[in-house]
Structure 1
Amino acid sequence: MPRRYIVVMIVLLVVAGAGGLLVTGVCRVREAAARMMCTSHFKQWALALHNAADTFPVERNEKQVSAFLSGTIPHADLPPEQRLSWFISVLPYMEQDEVLRQINVRHGANDPSNGFLTTYRFPQLVCPASGEYDRSSREWKSTGPLAHYIGVAGVGVDAATLPLGHPKTGVFGYDRRTALPNDIPDGTSNTLLLIETSQNPKHWAFGGPATVRGFVPESAPYLGDGRPFGGWHGNHAVWSSKKSHYCIVAFADGAVHSLTNATAPEVLEALATVAGKEELPANW
């Protein structure tokens, strides 16, 4: 083979490699930016939940203490999935008082008096990595409002209906309120409050599984593409097809972290409960 052809081939290989590195670098920058924005969203909602908890205390041991609001706005005549979600309760703490004034809290999410909810969207509830919302064009891909961030109910299909004190109970229940720190003996820094999901996201204003979910052991492993939680954030490898998935979470103390799909299911189940008394491994 003539030398000039060898040189041309080498140059082409170098250019192709550089192009691949450039594309990978751009992808990484975009994913990092999306994770940062997603983390910011979680911090806003966690802070709003804490402010609401301070505003509406409950009585524990003859004392008034802060308590997270219930997973749905109470309504004895409606099942949880037809009630208004906990997001409605914290709207004032997200500077959304005007939205709250348009909502009839005495009725469910499907009630005609709350018809405007069918089209009202929150960018702060949509993961930037999902592509659902184009910030440059301000256009939406999905046909209706969605919530990629949901409250953690505990462990099991029935986690949101379990009573306080049950070892599988998490922070969010349809009709229960979790006091700080009385009802969280596992510790607020070891208890999940919010988690993101790409799995069948639903309308943010509806109660039930749309906005409150538990970790169901039969569905483990929990994090990553096609899994119950996470699924939006990935770390592209340059010379390998392997990809690590990240899942943004908020803890009951308000801290926001990224967990990876390498996090063991039993660790996530332990973090999902408020009083499971599990022993977490070091450096989980």
Structure 2
Amino acid sequence: MLVVVAALCVLTCVGLLFPAVQKVREAAARMTCQSNFKWWATILHTHADAHYRGPDAPWDDRTTVFLTGTVQNPALPPERRLSWLVEVLPYAEQGRAYNKFDLMRGADDPVNEGAASNRFRNLVCPSSGEYDHNTSRWKSPTPITHYVGVAGIGTDAAELPLKHPRAGVFGYDRRTSLKDGFPDGTSNTLLLIETANEPGHWAFGGRATVRGFEPGTAPYIGPGRPFGGFHNGGPVLVGERLHTCTVAFADTSVRSLTSATAPEVLEALATVGGREDVPPP
């Protein structure tokens, strides 16, 4: 009898300990994810500061790049161009990888195949299981990113002109200046957001690395939704579980939004010049 009681006590303790361990691991993964966002947001600022020459500088001058959704190449559709992540590699301590790219060729060009095959752990959410630290193996057959640039509102968000009220930071053929391009304020504008929804190759432009908030897909955050999907917030006894989504704002601040964040709040935060009042969460 004592043996049975002891066994039950052990099982009970294990049952109580396991959720606690999972909670600690998830908290650690969420902190790492936030650190990744801070890293890339800061790099984007460093890149933009290094290339700023004024809002009237010509497109054909490479030094006029501020924040763009793709490496500019009008001869290619956005989804075949190199991504904004390629553009900022020198500022992410990846100058050697950057130098292997031919910026005038597409991400799918054989010349860029070797450079595009690089994988970066700070582009994937630690909670995703994409990278196994124990085996040093990757789950996906191609190098992906869970972190994408925010394009604004609508299916055509990345294609909108610079001053359109639905335009966000990243667009295929527009550039956003961190100096004077944020009428809504950098602290009220989303820069980067995580997604578990069909993550794409980090070196490719288009939807792989730039996405907008499409009103028909709301609610936006949570498993199976357009954004978030990795951080489940832990078990709850009463009510619905709140899923969290890591984001970086244009002022480089990093926050966690939740599945309870109203769609109209996210849409207000997605634009650089919508001049809308941000509703309370």
1:41 paired residue among 29, 36, 51: 36
In the alignment, structure 1 residue 18 sits paired with structure 2 residue 13: yes
**Under a length normalisation based on structure 2, what TM-score does the superposition of the two structures give?**
0.92
1:186-201 aligned within 5 A: 186-201=184-199
In 2, Cα distance between the equivalents of 1:252 and 1:222?
20
The number of residues matched between the two structures is 275
Q: Which residue of 2 aligns with 1:29?
A: 24
Tell me the secondary structure at the aligned position of residue 249 of structure 1: strand
C-alpha deviations, 1:180-219, integer Å up to 9, x for none? 2422111100100000000000100000000000000000
Q: Is the 8 A contact 1:152 1:213 kept in 2?
A: yes
1:1-284 aligned within 5 A: 15-60=10-55, 68-117=66-115, 119-237=117-235, 239=237, 242-282=240-280, 284=281
Q: Is the 8 A contact 1:221 1:265 kept in 2?
A: yes
Output the aligned Cα RMSD.
2.1
Q: Is the 8 A contact 1:118 1:144 kept in 2?
A: no
What is the percent sequence identity of the aligned residues?
56
Task: Out of 239-248 and 112-121, give the one that drifted further.
Answer: 239-248
Q: Which has the larger radius of gyration?
A: 1
Note the residue ranges of structure 1 that are not aligned, 5 or more in a row. none
In 1, Cα distance between the equivalents of 2:46 and 2:277?
30
Amino acid at match of 1:190: N
User: Which has more strand, going by share of residues?
Assistant: 1
Q: Is the 8 A contact 1:199 1:227 kept in 2?
A: yes
In 2, Cα distance between the equivalents of 1:176 and 1:59?
14
Q: Is the 8 A contact 1:181 1:187 kept in 2?
A: no
Amino acid at match of 1:120: N
Q: Is the 8 A contact 2:45 2:178 kept in 1?
A: no
**Under a length normalisation based on structure 1, what TM-score does the superposition of the two structures give?**
0.91
Amino acid at match of 2:220: Y
Q: Which runs of 4+ in 1 moved over 6 A?
A: none
C-alpha deviations, 1:153-206, integer Å up to 9, x for none? 000000001011111000000111111242211110010000000000010000
